[in-house]
């Protein structure tokens, strides 16, 4: 067996790759030509010879090395490979089991934010900073109970908000699930609280859904006496039924008059950040009526970037409130019709009054896959059905506007 003096004075002879001084039960000290000294324990596991590093001398003395060897032997005798156990411990030690809820939440946010939209990432963290961290932030995940989370959510609920408490519940649940995955806790304290909150009564955005009302709306739009660009935005909102933000941000460079197509870049679509970067653009076929409106607008705004520029600066698109205000001037308040309502109007009337397949409509609305044909119809090679649909819809609106009596 080794002594402290032997360990201290040992050197590697010239010309040798290493010197090994044996202690007992597989423990030995290895000395390199540079003078570095390291403890190893040689053992057998699964009929294979293995080695476990126990530290450097003199940081780990002879006595400490023997204790480490004995601890490893106990694992071996229980059928646990000490090397594998050390690897598992290293993985676990990367995550602080005593990390607070706030620390874990911020770590989760930093992990997920690159794939979220900037707006959602900012809002997600701000909500927790205001309504969760002040009460639960300094507690460890394991110390938080379901009633404690519910108390926080009830405090928000009592403010009379509609959906925030449900969003906070989902965010807290995400943090707990991340905590379980990283070894900070073993249960999700927010997992079963959804039924404990008041339900959210969702109110759909107002829209005109009756043919006679749609006829009146189209007559009002074509008779609109305000700015020609605003009238054009109203007309194309009805004809193209795309999201209001896409309509007002339409650019002349996106319009192909030869192929009668509006191509909305993926980055402008309502998608995840990854899909904005890698996704396909959204194609909007232009019926002859839409082409006519764009050609009428070209002399007015065709020299600039936007089809519907701001009246204050052509470097910016039309304000998000322009179409809404125009609808109000025409007699349609927020309880009757909104800019987003043109999408619901097209979806409802086409399903009820035309032969267009609902999956084709959903694809043109840029909704997610709603059936077996949903994703296929969103590919360029299936554009013919959408071209036909846009003409059918434009003709239908003309018929309503011209023939339906008030």
Positions annotated as catalytic residues are 243, 273, 340, 343, 367, 377
Read off φ and ψ for residue 167, nearest 5 degrees: -65, -40
Q: Which two tokens stand for residue 163?
A: 């959906």
Cβ(307)–Cβ(252) below 8 Å: yes
Read off φ and ψ for residue 392, nearest 5 degrees: -60, -45
The torsion of the CA quartet 203, 207, 208, 210, rounded to 10 degrees, works out to: -50
Give the 3-state secondary structure of residue 370.
Answer: coil
Q: Which two tokens stand for residue 352?
A: 């009820």
Q: How far apart are CA 361 and CA 214, in angstroms?
A: 18
Cβ(188)–Cβ(170) below 8 Å: no
282-285: strand order across its sheet: 255-256, 261-264, 282-285
Cβ(8)–Cβ(62) below 8 Å: no
What does each C-alpha distance from 255 to 36, 180, 202, 250, 295 come to in angstroms? Answer: 72, 50, 36, 8, 11
Cβ(138)–Cβ(123) below 8 Å: no
Give the 3-state secondary structure of residue 314.
Answer: coil
Q: How far apart are CA 286 and CA 396, in angstroms?
A: 15
């Amino acid at each position: 067996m080794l002594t402290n003096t032997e360990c201290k004075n040992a050197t590697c002879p010239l010309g040798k790759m290493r010197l090994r001084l044996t202690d007992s039960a597989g423990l030995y000290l290895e000395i390199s030509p540079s003078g570095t000294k390291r403890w190893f324990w040689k053992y057998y596991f699964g009929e294979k010879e293995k080695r476990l590093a126990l530290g450097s001398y003199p940081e780990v003395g002879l006595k400490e090395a023997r204790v480490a060897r004995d601890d490893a032997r106990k694992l071996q005798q229980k059928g646990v490979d000490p090397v594998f156990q050390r690897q598992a411990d290293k993985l676990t030690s990367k995550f602080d089991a005593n990390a607070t809820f706030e620390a874990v939440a911020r770590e989760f946010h930093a992990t997920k934010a690159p794939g979220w939209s900037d707006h959602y990432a900012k809002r997600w963290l701000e909500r927790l900073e205001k309504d969760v961290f002040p009460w639960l932030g300094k507690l460890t995940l394991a110390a938080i109970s379901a009633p404690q989370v519910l108390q926080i959510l009830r405090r928000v609920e009592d403010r009379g908000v509609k959906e925030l408490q449900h969003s906070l519940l989902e965010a807290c649940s995400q943090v707990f699930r991340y905590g379980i995955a990283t070894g900070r806790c073993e249960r999700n304290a927010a997992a079963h609280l959804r039924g404990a909150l008041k339900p959210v009564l969702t109110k759909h955005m107002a829209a005109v859904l009756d043919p006679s009302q749609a006829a009146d709306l189209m007559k009002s739009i074509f008779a609109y006496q305000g700015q020609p660009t605003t009238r054009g935005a109203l007309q194309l909102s009805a004809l193209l039924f795309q999201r209001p933000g896409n309509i007002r941000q339409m650019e002349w460079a996106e319009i192909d008059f030869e192929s009668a197509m509006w191509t909305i870049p993926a980055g402008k679509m309502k998608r995840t950040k990854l899909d904005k970067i890698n996704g396909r653009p959204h194609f909007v076929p232009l019926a002859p009526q839409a082409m006519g409106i764009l050609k009428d607008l070209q002399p007015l705004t065709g020299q600039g970037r936007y089809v519907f520029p701001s009246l204050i600066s052509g470097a910016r698109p039309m304000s998000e409130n322009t179409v809404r205000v125009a609808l109000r001037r025409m007699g349609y308040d927020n309880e009757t019709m909104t800019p987003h309502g043109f999408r619901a109007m097209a979806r409802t009337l086409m399903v009820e009054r035309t032969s267009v397949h609902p999956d084709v409509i959903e694809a043109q609305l840029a909704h997610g896959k709603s059936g077996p044909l949903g994703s296929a119809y969103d590919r360029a090679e299936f554009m013919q059905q959408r071209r036909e649909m846009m003409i059918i819809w434009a003709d239908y609106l003309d018929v309503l506007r011209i023939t339906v009596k008030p």
